[in-house]
């Protein structure tokens, strides 16, 4: 079976070069197992600002990664990036829960309230950890 059975969903600011607008999209750390994998897309992350140059002191923000596409929402994906934005997270949770995924609230709370702080140069914020049960 391909894909990970546990994964993390994040929010990330994204420059939609089609509409020339900044959006907060939903990203994912790995390709997951199960039906969500069909909607994971590899995307390029355009630099958000000319003033945010990586330095030798911090990790470089990745230029590409994985994001969740809006395909399962049955909406017109021809407009803009076609990537899921944070306003659609309730729809994503409905999809996950009805397709054999479990949102791991205890692990999410532990990470979000713990003393360890992650590098947020690219403004990623953890939405939740998810397990695929099937």
- Tell me: the pLDDT tens digits for 26-80? 999 999 999 999 999 999 887 766 555 555 544 555 678 899 998 766 555 445 5
Q: Is 72 helix (H, G, I), strand (E, B) or coil?
A: helix
Cα 33 to Cα 30: distance, rounded to the nearest angstrom: 9
pLDDT at residue 20 in the model: 81
The pTM for the full model equals 0.80
The percent of residues above 90 in pLDDT, for the chain, comes to 43
Q: Which of 118, 96, 98 is nearest to 26 (CA)?
A: 96
Cα 132 to Cα 83: distance, rounded to the nearest angstrom: 22
pLDDT at residue 78 in the model: 47
Question: Could you tell me the two tokens for 99?
Answer: 């397709």
């Amino acid at each position: 079976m391909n894909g990970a059975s546990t994964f993390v969903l994040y929010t990330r600011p994204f420059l939609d070069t089609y509409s020339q607008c900044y959006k907060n999209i939903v990203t994912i750390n790995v390709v997951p197992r199960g039906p969500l994998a069909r909607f994971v897309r590899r995307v390029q992350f355009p630099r958000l600002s000319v003033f945010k140059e990586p330095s030798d002191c911090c990790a470089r923000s990745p230029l590409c990664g994985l994001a969740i596409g809006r395909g399962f929402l049955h909406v017109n994906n021809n407009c803009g990036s076609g990537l899921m934005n944070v306003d659609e997270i309730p729809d994503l949770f409905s999809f996950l829960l009805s397709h054999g995924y479990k949102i791991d609230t205890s692990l999410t709370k532990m990470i979000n309230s713990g003393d360890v702080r992650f590098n947020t140069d690219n403004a990623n914020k953890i939405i939740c950890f998810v397990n695929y049960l099937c």
